[in-house]
Structure 1
Amino acid sequence: ADLEGFRAVFEYVLLFFIGYYLIEDHRKAIQSLHLISAVATLAALVGFAQVALGVETPSSWTDAAEQGIVRAFSFVVSPNVLGSYMALMIPIAVGLFFYERNVWLKGYYALASLLQLGAFVLSGSRGAWLALLLSLLLIFALINWKWALGGGVAAVLGGFLLPPIRSRILNLLSPEYLEKSASDGRIARWLGAYHEMRFDPFFGRGIGHYGGAVGDR
């Protein structure tokens, strides 16, 4: 478990330094962002195709009360991973839209942003929705608190008006979800983490000893 946990945590640090030294100047940085955004747009297109074609979502990613709901998962296997991936990539696509001066590239990144936003919603990942919303509200608040207020109101209205978001949010209150979550879901993990924290409040269990697939292995 120690070796597996070390790998899971520090392999991303290694990849960061590899990427850092591969990008030598501004031009290469922009080229890298173009490539990263293109792959994310492809992932979004695959997610849209899955929903349009009615590809069955793996049963482990849907609750009993949500039978028949299709969640996009693209080629990253998990709807939650797709949602988190899109949450990271959407700001890049939007940033490139504002950065580029070429009309065709602006049009492409406008479309890419919308596709990624659509796949983000279709992933049904509540955690990714919340993460992107809070990060955007924080940025808006740093610029102008009125933007944050308007963004919060728009997010609440969007949550109620868009069926995929509304159904996923309301499902949090269903007895089936609460029972499943308390037995082998988020609530169970939160309570388990709190229980472990009581015995090791300062240093925890150590890398790779708790939580998710890494902890299981």
Structure 2
Amino acid sequence: MDIKKSIEESYIFNIFLFIKRLLDTSFIFNVKKENKDNANEISGEYKTWKEHSLIYALIIKLDKKLNKLEKFIHNSIIESKIYNILNRKNVDDREIKKSLNNPVIENSKVVLYFRKIKDKLRVEDVLIALTTGYIFVDIFIRRISFTSSFGSIWDELLLIFLFVYIFYSRIANNGDINFNLTPMGLPATIYIVLGIIHLIVVSPDLSVAVEGFRAVFQQVLWYFAITQFVRNQSDSNKVINIMIGMGLFLGIHATYQYIAKVPMPGNWVDISENVRTRAFSIVGSPNVLGALFVLFIPIGISMLLVNKNKNSRIFYMLSVLFMILGLFFTMSRGAWLAFGFSMFIFIMIINIKLLVPFIALVGVFILSGSLMAQRLLFMLSPSYMMSSAKGGRLYRWRIGIDIWKKNKFFGVGLGRFGGAVAINNKLSPFYLDNYYLKTLTEMGIYGILALAFVIVCFVLFSSKIIKYQNDMKSKLISIGLFTGGIGILTQNFVENIFEVPAMAIYFWVIIALINTFAPKKTILNK
């Protein structure tokens, strides 16, 4: 059986193609018609709606106007009396310090080492590291006494600072920095606008609706900030290495927790299951920890495949190994299934011939009789179905669907059912454990179509970048990033992964990284 042919003839695949054709011919995404004379010449070239969209053309013109304004502000500051006074004082201070410097100290290895670090370390790198290390920064701030009061707002302050620094950099560089426009920028903007419209139309309690809107749409703003900092593959590699380093630490810690049988702080298993512990590391939740591994492992595998340096390969190999162990020890069935699906997509794109051994490996794992395999197979048992229908996922999903049926098109309103905001405001007794159903319940058909629109755009734009790559290294890393994102989207079917701010932010960071691997100009030989 030809699997590729089956996929191309499938209903879902053709829906994606239909949506792509609609986007390519729409007023917003494509307003220029191709010349038939050179249609064959450019048909194999990597192109996006960014090059043809009227909206993007208007944004480019607006950006040029901003460049002129920034240049004016820059020149005004440079020519101001206050700046000249302050600048003169700084020059004088530097001269005084220079005259007092001890040559022995100045030329010492320690001073030279730290000076070398200072020269290499950019403010942009620090800001990228703070964003990428969100999980660790959040834990640190919340657990240190003098910073804990900022625990609920530090990420918003950082987001605001990112945008402030972007505009500061543009002015400081005399308006020579252009806004980094990306193919996913417009879909992300449309998604936010649709959310604002829903907030205006359906808001039984405005404060709850605003809180619900913030929980869903605020994380999208990180995408626009990160794309201004991460503009090339070199920057992407820095972010990727930070992520994999985090994954290695979390994997080692999760493995330790499982071996040491650290007590679970919550009731995370069915009463009939023989599971004594589940790894949760510093994240506090096995499912969220599993989601992090689902995101990071495909990226780690890609980096392992493309790197020839011995030390780098050892680092990536250990990272992948411990992340896989950590994933297993979370005992998160949703994460396992999401990881399995993401690796299926990974293999389908790289080499379809590897599919048979992959399926055989999965079969051996399921039939091994191990505790992990038993937990997966338990989902098919009548006792699990009865338990789930009585008070588990199936029961919650049924309640969510019943509530949606009463408000099919617009839903009950943002923040009103099945999520953290609803629980905090005592409007819902539980999580729906399905982010898409939660979106459907709160935002109705309108909201789920808006979310589907963004997801389809992500799949189309990522697939296009992968398809038109002529460099195998870039292609493999792009595949790793894409399949990691697909894994998170898959896990959202059985959990509210995007309810965790870090996970939503990481998803948008991944999209920002994929942008940097877009081929500049590639013509396929047909």
TM-score normalized with structure 2 length: 0.39
Match of 1:159 in 2: 366
Matches within 5 A, 1:135-214: 135-161=342-368, 163-174=370-381, 177-214=384-421
Structure 2 residues not aligned, in runs of 5+: 1-207, 425-526
CA distance in 1, matches of 2:369, 2:300: 23
Work out the CA distance in 2 between the residues paired with 1:199 and 1:31: 48
Structure 1, 153-162 or 120-129: larger mean CA deviation? 153-162
Which residue does the alignment assign to 1:105? Answer: 312
The answer on 1:70 being equivalent to 2:277 is yes
Alignment counterpart, residue 46 of structure 1, candidates 244, 249, 253: 253
The farther-off stretch of 92-101 and 32-41 is 92-101
The code of the aligned residue for 2:222 comes to L
> Structure 1 residues 202, 151: CA separation in 2 closer, same or farther (over 3 Å shift)?
farther
Deviations 1:141-185 (A, max 9, x none): 345544334322321221222613212113324565444422332
Partners of 1:159 and 1:77 lie apart in 2 by: 27
Secondary structure of 1:66 counterpart: coil
Q: How does 1:5-20 map to 2 (within 5 A)?
A: 5-20=212-227
8 A Cα contact 1:64 1:176, kept in partner: no
d(CA) in 2 for partners of 1:165, 1:83: 14
Q: What is the deviation of 1:71? A: 0.8
TM-score using structure 1 length: 0.89
What whole-Å deviation, never above 9, does each CA across 1:113-164 have from its counterpart, x for those lacking one?
Answer: 0100110111111111111212222333345544334322321221222613
* AA aligned opposite 2:296: M
The Cα of 1:200 is off from its aligned counterpart by 2.4
1:56 is matched by which residue type in structure 2? P
Q: Determine the structure 2 residue equivalent to 1:55.
A: 262
CA shift, 1:201, in A, is: 2.5
Q: Which amino acid aligns with 2:308?
A: R
Q: Which amino acid aligns with 1:20?
A: T
2:320 aligned partner, one-letter code: S
Q: Deviations over 1:42-97 (max 9, x none)?
A: 11111111111110123321221235521111111011111111000001111111
Does 2:349 correspond to 1:120? Answer: no
- Identify unmatched segments of 5+ residues in structure 1: none
Identity %: 31
- Contact residue 366 and residue 377 of structure 2 kept, 8 A: no
Distance 1:8 1:21 in 2: 23
Per-residue deviation, 1:197? 2.7
